[in-house]
Structure 1
Amino acid sequence: MSATWRDSNQVQLLINGEDYFPSVFQAINDAREEVLLETFIIFEDKVGQQLQQVLIDAARRGVRVEVLVDGYGTADLSSDFLQALVEVGVHLQAFDPSPKLLGMRTNLFRRMHRKILVIDGETAFVGGINYSADHLADFGPMAKQDYAVRVRGPIVADLHRASLQLLDETSRVRRNPTPWRSRSAPIEADSAQASMLLCIRDNHEHQRDIEQHYLIAIRSARERVVIANAYFFPGYRLLRAIRNAARRGVKVTLILQGMPDLPLVLLCSRLLYNYLLRDGVVIHEYCERPLHGKVALIDDQWSTIGSSNLDPLSLALNLEANLIIRDRKLNERLHEHLLGLAQAHCKAVTLQRVLRGYWWRAPLIFLTFHFLRRFPAIVGWLPAHSPKLIPMVPTPEAPPGAPAPLDQAKHP
């Protein structure tokens, strides 16, 4: 868990696509030298098309543009979409793509789930928001609730270095990290003096870093713990830390999905309710629309925002990135927002409701919990995924508008 706290950073909380996309697209439009973008998903909808255009404009200005997507999450971009990017010099890569089998994607595990954007080594964005229209309210009832932050300051150098390190995993072309500079005007910040730490999860030296930071913060909590998480099925250590915090008088509040995009998610989370509620944990199910956020706050200073869910995939298999932030102003703004969600758009979960029919569900809960606990180890029996980046290029023989197979040529 080797990471360094960086002081004196500016931070701005961005809520949903309405905050995030205009800020990101403007930052790319302002780029002078370099754009490094990592994301799980780019969809070819109105958001993806706007992203495509600002990246094309940046490349035409001579900005170096590197885009890394996940080969599972971003598998269906058309040949036309890719061609427009590649022909202006955008360097597109996919993490561990695999061909479909009988029309189905098969590479389900060990995904590149990070969402990081670094502009000119000066400004960076970190969070859980993908480049898709379902992060905008006008998408309809299934529009996602999600969070990110925009940051400037010394922490940007760590984000820049982390992005280059992943891009260079399979390349012999080494790039010199761009040091953080302060040539641009300050951002519209919630705070200008935040201390931050970049916490990543990989399958090598940082396998449990994000979980460990959660554990340290929850175990030291004195007043409040608030966790808003889309896919909530943590391991026993985190569950026990959450329960023990409530037992010692900390006000522990969980905001979880009540209207999930994946129904199985709700079922899995509800398997844990009895264990938590009986010791005083307060659970709200967010029912206005799907919750996609991955945020938490402890007491009045500690917060985290990033890509990591509290489930077996994020905590034990995927590549993830969270910022840990110590700042009273950001913590308070996030707390007020989450409290508003809980009061206005959530349904409280009671122990009485959970215990209804518990006698026949108890064996299922026991078996499912222990299976999911051991799920990462089971997946570990499969061949390990080392970072494998493959250039995304349009295939000449693909018909216009058709999904483009990936060129299988690999970096040396």
Structure 2
Amino acid sequence: MNDSARWVGGNRIELLENGEEFFPRVFDAIRQAKREVIIETFILFEDKVGLQLHAAMRAAAQRGVKVDLMVDGFGSPDLSREFIEGLSAVGVKVRVFDPGSRVLGQRLNVFRRMHRKIVVIDGEVAFVGGINYSADHLLDFGPKAKQDYAVALAGPIVAQIHQFVLRAIALGDKGPRWFRRRLQQAPPVTRAAVGEVEAMFVTRDNRRHTNDIERHYLAAIRAARTRIVIANAYFFPGYRIIKELRRAARRGVDVRLILQGEPDMPIVKTAASMLYHHLLHAGVRIYEYCDRPLHAKIALMDDRWTTVGSSNLDPLSLSLNLEANVIARDRAFNQLLWERMDTLMRESCKRIHEADLETGWSGWRLVRSFFIFHFLRWYPSWLGWLPRQVPRLTLAEATDLAEKQRGKTGDNGATQTTEAA
């Protein structure tokens, strides 16, 4: 779906940190939309953030703007009938990626999720990152508020993102005639240069682009000569990334990882910490972010390369989920991201040293290391054996979607759970 992924110059990119910077920009862009709004998100909750998005989409649709919203059936399971009806009544198209009924109150559609977070306005402005539409991305949520990032984009790269989201809708609806008609009706996007940033839009899916994001990470790590900084919420990458990070550190690159110290799910820290000995021994610096849960999916290499997106470096993102990242080559943006990460490491992180870890090569550590090594080496192949889910979108009808997703649990639509997102 992203055969056109390539470096394109002439763009403008802006870093948006946390919901305080992200939500106002997105909602304002929707309010200013003249023709079209397309939104993809993993999580949409009916809290104060979700209700603001709801109001912005309704207002846009009421003034004649085409509005398409795609949510994931696992990440957004509790949208009420009233919420959906309020959108569909004014013409907003609400689509659910793989909606699944609950069995004994449990959601079983866990794997191969639509994990992307993308907004495209009029084919001219785009937002890509890791921030969902939920109040836990705002600082006033409390100790569990998430630290996260997104980017606002303008310029020729938006054309690639726009075509991608149109194809995602068309392929899911399985309507080639509708697809051609929609592309013909799509307004011409702004292709004139508006800045100096080179950018690339990279996605992963379960068809032809199964490892594109991982390949770009690997290429950048191998090419790095001075600095690598990766801030990642769910860090348990494959063997190849671990190997290249160790090699980079051993050839003198300053390799730093910013990982969760106060995770939203304890297993996240447990999994990542199993790799600490292996990485620290090679000279990789590890910092645990301790203010609150870290939800970032960002990285920088040397003084130009950066990436911001939805993809974690874990088995779900690298081998199962549908993801989207923007990669940029620009010294000013790289420097800005470095300054933000440096501040995070100095003010909000605890550096982990080998002395902080369990010492001694006990029998359990030897066995555990053996299994971790082979799991990291082979899990991409193992996960590939799972059924390959094709894009399947269901147009949400207010009459039955909420009831279908809740099954017979008696859920009143107010339940909100934090997922690995």
Question: Shorter-chain-normalised TM-score: which range?
Answer: over 0.9
Contact conserved, 1:255 with 1:342, CA < 8 A, in 2? yes
Instruction: Summarize the alignment of residues 172-211 of structure 1 with structure 2, pairs less than 5 Å apart.
Output: 172=175, 173-174=178-179, 175-176=182-183, 177-181=186-190, 192-211=195-214
1:125 is paired with a residue of what secondary structure?
Answer: strand
Q: Report the counterpart of residue 235 of structure 1 in structure 2.
A: 238
Q: Report the counterpart of residue 356 of structure 2 in structure 1.
A: 353
Alpha-carbon distance between aligned partners in 2 of 1:297 and 1:54, rounded to the nearest angstrom: 34
For 1:24-72, what per-residue CA distance to the aligned partner results, in whole angstroms no more than 9, with x for missing partners? 0000000000001000000010000000000000000100000111110
Change in CA separation of 1:362 and 1:310 when aligned onto 2, cut-off 3 Å: same
Out of 162, 165, 168, the residue aligned to residue 164 of structure 2 is 162
The alpha carbon displacement at 1:373 in A equals 4.8
Alpha-carbon distance between aligned partners in 2 of 1:358 and 1:57, rounded to the nearest angstrom: 62
Contact conserved, 1:142 with 1:289, CA < 8 A, in 2? yes
Out of 292, 300, 305, the residue aligned to residue 303 of structure 2 is 300
Out of 51, 66, 69, the residue aligned to residue 68 of structure 2 is 66
Task: Calculate the aligned-residue CA RMSD, in Å.
Answer: 2.0
Instruction: Summarize the alignment of residues 376-395 of structure 1 with structure 2, pairs less than 5 Å apart.
Output: 376-395=380-399
The alpha carbon displacement at 1:379 in A equals 3.8
Out of 136, 142, 145, the residue aligned to residue 143 of structure 1 is 145
Q: Report the counterpart of residue 51 of structure 1 in structure 2.
A: 53
1:169 is paired with a residue of what secondary structure?
Answer: helix
The alpha carbon displacement at 1:382 in A equals 3.3
Alpha-carbon distance between aligned partners in 1 of 2:35 and 2:326, rounded to the nearest angstrom: 24
2:293 matches 1:290: yes
Alpha-carbon distance between aligned partners in 2 of 1:45 and 1:206, rounded to the nearest angstrom: 34
Q: Report the counterpart of residue 276 of structure 2 in structure 1.
A: 273
Out of 318, 329, 332, the residue aligned to residue 329 of structure 1 is 332
The alpha carbon displacement at 1:111 in A equals 0.4
For 1:207-228, what per-residue CA distance to the aligned partner results, in whole angstroms no more than 9, with x for missing partners? 1110010011110001000000
Q: Report the counterpart of residue 213 of structure 1 in structure 2.
A: 216
Name the TM-score, length of structure 1 as normaliser.
0.92
Contact conserved, 2:41 with 2:132, CA < 8 A, in 1? yes
For 1:1-28, what per-residue CA distance to the aligned partner results, in whole angstroms no more than 9, with x for missing partners? 7621110101110000000000000000
Q: Report the counterpart of residue 29 of structure 1 in structure 2.
A: 31
Which runs of structure 1 show a deviation greater than 6 angstroms over 4 or more consecutive aligned residues? Answer: none
1:47 is paired with a residue of what secondary structure?
Answer: helix
Q: Report the counterpart of residue 93 of structure 1 in structure 2.
A: 95
Instruction: Output the amino acid matched with 2:65.
Output: V
Alpha-carbon distance between aligned partners in 2 of 1:324 and 1:246, rounded to the nearest angstrom: 22
Gaps of 5+ in 2: 415-421
Alpha-carbon distance between aligned partners in 1 of 2:302 and 2:379, rounded to the nearest angstrom: 32
Out of 126, 129, 132, the residue aligned to residue 130 of structure 1 is 132
For 1:95-118, what per-residue CA distance to the aligned partner results, in whole angstroms no more than 9, with x for missing partners? 111111110010111000000000
For 1:255-282, what per-residue CA distance to the aligned partner results, in whole angstroms no more than 9, with x for missing partners? 0001000110101101111111011100
Out of 18, 21, 25, the residue aligned to residue 16 of structure 1 is 18
Instruction: Output the amino acid matched with 1:386.
Output: V
Contact conserved, 1:313 with 1:376, CA < 8 A, in 2? no
1:295 is paired with a residue of what secondary structure?
Answer: strand
Which moves more between the two structures, 208-217 or 381-390? 381-390
The alpha carbon displacement at 1:180 in A equals 1.9
Out of 340, 354, 368, the residue aligned to residue 364 of structure 1 is 368
1:126 is paired with a residue of what secondary structure?
Answer: strand
Alpha-carbon distance between aligned partners in 2 of 1:376 and 1:70, rounded to the nearest angstrom: 23
Change in CA separation of 1:61 and 1:388 when aligned onto 2, cut-off 3 Å: same
1:170 is paired with a residue of what secondary structure?
Answer: helix
The alpha carbon displacement at 1:358 in A equals 5.0
Alpha-carbon distance between aligned partners in 1 of 2:206 and 2:366, rounded to the nearest angstrom: 34
Contact conserved, 1:287 with 1:346, CA < 8 A, in 2? yes
Contact conserved, 2:319 with 2:383, CA < 8 A, in 1? no
Gaps of 5+ in 1: 187-191, 405-412
Name the TM-score, length of structure 2 as normaliser.
0.91
Q: Report the counterpart of residue 410 of structure 1 in structure 2.
A: none
Q: Which has the larger share of helix?
A: 2
Percent identical residues: 53
Alpha-carbon distance between aligned partners in 2 of 1:325 and 1:389, rounded to the nearest angstrom: 30
The alpha carbon displacement at 1:182 in A equals 7.3
For 1:70-94, what per-residue CA distance to the aligned partner results, in whole angstroms no more than 9, with x for missing partners? 1100111111111100100000001
Alpha-carbon distance between aligned partners in 1 of 2:156 and 2:113, rounded to the nearest angstrom: 28
Number of aligned residues? 397
Contact conserved, 2:235 with 2:272, CA < 8 A, in 1? yes
2:140 is paired with a residue of what secondary structure?
Answer: helix
The alpha carbon displacement at 1:395 in A equals 2.2
Q: Report the counterpart of residue 117 of structure 2 in structure 1.
A: 115
2:282 is paired with a residue of what secondary structure?
Answer: coil
Q: Report the counterpart of residue 4 of structure 1 in structure 2.
A: 6
Alpha-carbon distance between aligned partners in 1 of 2:374 and 2:107, rounded to the nearest angstrom: 27
2:260 matches 1:257: yes
Contact conserved, 2:159 with 2:191, CA < 8 A, in 1? no
2:40 matches 1:38: yes
The alpha carbon displacement at 1:366 in A equals 2.8
Contact conserved, 2:239 with 2:373, CA < 8 A, in 1? no
The alpha carbon displacement at 1:372 in A equals 5.5
Alpha-carbon distance between aligned partners in 1 of 2:303 and 2:384, rounded to the nearest angstrom: 38
